Structure 1
């Protein structure tokens, strides 16, 4: 039985192979690498197996362009992994124009509790850091 990391690695390999024949997929993959290079400094590294087991246990990946998506059984959350090696967790119940992204445990990431116990909203850069994660490489 394969795990989420194995499924992810196989999907990445398949999409990179498809990119040699499809320029649109190649462009999407390149854009993901560019985003990771530009914004990825300071993102925490996570094990995709751990994130999928919390947010979407037992999910099988669905490949859409340069994204590998693991949907929760109830369809309310998804782990959205990019071919370039990072992931986000998305709340699919939010129907707003701006998508609702969550932390690696599937919890709200918009607010942070200060040391004095007060809650405040995160800045854009804090929010990006709290919702983007590098995928740990298997050794």
Structure 2
């Protein structure tokens, strides 16, 4: 009887470890497994706003510009992701209007970037898709 209980507890423990490791893998993949993507900086400069920390409290001396990018990957997958350019009150500046940026994006966030890129370095099929999206958004 004791042997059966130990076996059952062992199987349950193995199953729990499996589920936890699967959840960790899914979490890491959704946040950090990234693809190269491209987007166009909008023509309109966002309003300069006070920066808030993750708890919603104002960060003293910091301002930022909030952008909503529509990224397109090399596989033409479209993903909307928010990004904030932030810095000290008098030192922060917006991204250059109507330029293109590249970034490493995951399902949930920008892992690295964005950095400005010249139009001729963007794959043609991706550039066409970006411009179609921009026209649809009215930028």
Q: TM-score range by the shorter chain?
A: under 0.3
Q: Structure 1-normalised TM-score?
A: 0.25
Q: Structure 2-normalised TM-score?
A: 0.25
Higher strand proportion (structure 1 or 2)? 2
| Structure number with bigger Rg | 2
